[in-house]
Amino acid sequence: MTCFAFPFILFILVPHTISLGSCSSFTFSICWKISNNSLFGSWPEGHLWLNATKLKSIWREDTFSSLTVATTVEHKLTLQYGVMVRKWIFSIFPGSHSIEFRSIHKPDQQPINSTLEALELFSTNEVFACENSTLYLYQDPDFILMLVHSEIENLWQTSSGPDNYTLSWVVRNTSSISVFRIYHQGVLHYTTLLTSHTVASLLPCSQYSARVEALCGDSVVMSSKTVCARTGPRGVSELRYRPEDSTALWIGGTGQGVAFQYQLSYDNGSTIQQGRLMEPLLRLPGLIEGAHYALDVWEECDGEWSADPALVCFDGVNVSVKALVLPVASTLRPNEDRVLAFVVPWLMVLDPKTEPWAELKRIYEKLLEELLKEYPIKTRVELVAFKELEGESKTQITFQGFDASITDADLPLPPGEQLDHIQSLQPPNITVKDGIIYWDGKRTTNNSITWSI
């Protein structure tokens, strides 16, 4: 902490600016303590005002009291202690992590001996609201007045389910706290004396704002902390196989960050293919007629997978790739015939713990949008599916192009025109063959690729 480097002048309001260093969001508190150390067996009469409000019952022997003060607002603090009166005007600026004082009484940044002795009688757990970057406004053997900042420590999400999340937090001394308030999406959700709480009845695969406040006395906020919490995946339901076009379909979650991983096996357990999809649909051409298959599908949101997969067992139907071009039933999602395929000569890393899906999605969407940047209509690309090509050490990325100028709806662009546009550019390391785009170059790092047009 930087010490003051200017002279102290009596009877003039002198501005002092005190830097608190680089810190996260603070909760500031005024703290005071009274001790019965007087040689005469009693203390002087005392009163404390914050702005125009008189703080009652401040003389509680050998305890710490605290009151949170708002930031970005100018405060006037007045202490009447016997015949002595002291006044401070101060403002707190969280953005610059500093406090500005205007007073004839310069605050101290170091405790005197009697203050040290008094503080040693308390554990750090008993003064958590009064422990950080302490400024001593008044010190004597009987009375200490301080301005400090405090925080709830280590607020984090400990677990989640498809419709709930659980928060836990740490404070050094729960005995000084009257209650904790838990806010969900800015609305008071619950009050408790425990240091954990579960918020339920939520949507799966969703993100929420959660805040915990520690209160003392009559609804006085001592500390506050906010985190982003997430619910987990619900899992796949109604997984089925449609033999007329050899397609697997299911119902899953929707929203940003939702994906699916599948594994197709023979009924003896040997894996045939696996991959990741962005849509709840998997086309399975070229199966052995009458062979027994098992398909497992997991749901994922932001790297967290459903605990158990959905499973469907079926007898294969040999449907050619051409037969899958046209929609067969009304259960197909709109625009499923409006996709393009892009093949890269390597296998994708499928484990989300080693390569987050969101990062892969961002890289490939950006590269494909770069490939279409001269298309007459500004294009937004969304990936539909990743599929390993069996026996070829290649990955097929299915994607769809949308009109980027329309922000309130998804207007798909004609895939044939986009394919012709890409072919006309004749970009290096790109080949268009049988309606599929092939990347013939090498990857650089982290499965990323680059090209110039």
Cβ atoms of residues 224 and 211 within 8 Å: yes
Q: Which CATH number fits domain 234-333: 3.40.50.720, 3.40.50.180, 3.40.50.300, 2.60.40.10?
A: 2.60.40.10
Q: What is the mean pLDDT of the chain?
A: 76
Record the tokens describing residue 108, joined without a space.
Answer: 């101290």
Least confident of 159-168, 321-330, 344-353: 321-330
When computed from its CA atoms, the radius of gyration of the chain, rounded to whole angstroms, is 33
Record the tokens describing residue 123, joined without a space.
Answer: 């554990």
pTM over 0.85: no
What pLDDT is recorded for position 315?
A: 93
**pLDDT tens for each residue of 300-338:** 887 788 878 999 999 988 765 444 433 333 333 333 456
With a cut of 60, say whether residue 413 has pLDDT above it: yes
More confident residue, 109 or 56: 109
How far apart, in whole angstroms, are the C-alpha atoms of residue 90 and residue 96?
15
In the chain, % helix, strand, coil (3-state, to 5) comes to 10, 45, 45
Least confident of 161-175, 217-231, 232-246, 304-318: 217-231
412 contact partners, CB below 8 Å, separation of at least 6: 335, 338, 400, 401, 402, 403
Pairing of strands 247-251, 281-283: antiparallel
* The CATH number of the domain covering residues in 153-230: 2.60.40.10
Record the tokens describing residue 354, joined without a space.
Answer: 């080693």
Query: Is 220 strand, coil or helix?
Result: strand
At the topology level of CATH, where does 335-453 sit? Alpha-Beta Plaits (3.30.70)
More confident residue, 27 or 87: 87
* Distance from chain centroid for Cα 97: 24
Domain parsing of the chain, residue ranges: 14-150, 153-230, 234-333, 335-453
**pLDDT tens for each residue of 266-276:** 988 888 888 88
Matching fold, domains 153-230 and 234-333: yes
Task: Tell me which residue of 167, 157, 162, 252 sits closest to 203, measured CA to CA.
Answer: 162
Confidence of residue 219 (pLDDT cuts 50, 70, 90): low
More confident residue, 390 or 447: 390
Percent residues over pLDDT 70 in the chain: 70
* Distance from chain centroid for Cα 263: 30
Pairing of strands 292-301, 46-50: unpaired
Give me the mean pLDDT over the 412-434 stretch: 85
